[in-house]
Amino acid sequence: MPFDSKAVANQFLTLAKNEGKSLTPMQLIKLVYFAHGWYLAITGTPLLNETVQAWKFGPVIPSLYHEFKRFGNSPITERATKTDIIGEGGTLKLRLQAPEITGEGSVLAKRVIEKVWEKYKHYSAVQLSNLTHLPDSPWAKTKGREIKGTVIPDDTIRQYYLALTNK
């Protein structure tokens, strides 16, 4: 079951906060991307409920970019939120909430996220970005990456991370 990208981001923000660390938007987006890649390699199914796009400067999860772009290169100080429409007594209301990873598959998803955190938490935003720009990376292999909105296929991401498991 794919998870809300914002819930995955919030999981990383919680891990960082628990260790007294902060994350910039670029770091967070790259960590979520890595978690998606490793999850694809391990399970054969996507972690995220949205596609990863190849933008000019690397892989991006659009909803996370738009959620956190206001922080620029500064540390993120708020969790990702989403608006839900709820019905009560014949009326509709908007409710703002911070999505979490719950339900079927959540235990494995959280374990993968924790492993990705352990592996990459000491990397700067530039170092994480450099990893996504390696010559054989899914982003580098995606044709049309100069056109905003070009999707990096999950199968391309999965094959790349499967190959990393054999190194």
Check pLDDT > 90 for residue 165.
no
pTM above 0.95, yes or no: no
84, β-bridge pairs: 95
Q: What distance in Å separates the CA atoms of residue 69 and residue 25, rounded to the nearest whole number?
A: 7
pLDDT digits (tens, 9 = 90+) for 116-149: 999 999 999 999 999 999 999 999 999 888 777 8
pLDDT digits (tens, 9 = 90+) for 81-98: 887 777 766 676 666 677
Q: What distance in Å separates the CA atoms of residue 24 and residue 140, rounded to the nearest whole number?
A: 23
| 49: helix, strand or coil | coil
The confidence score (pLDDT) of residue 11 equals: 97
Percentage of the chain exceeding pLDDT 70: 95
| 58: helix, strand or coil | strand
- Going from N- to C-terminal start, the domains of the chain cover 5-165
52 phi and psi angles, rounded to 5 deg: -95, 135
What pairing do the DSSP bridges indicate for beta strands 91-97 and 58-60?
Answer: unpaired
Contacts of 40 (CB under 8 A, 6+ apart): 46, 47, 154, 157, 158, 161
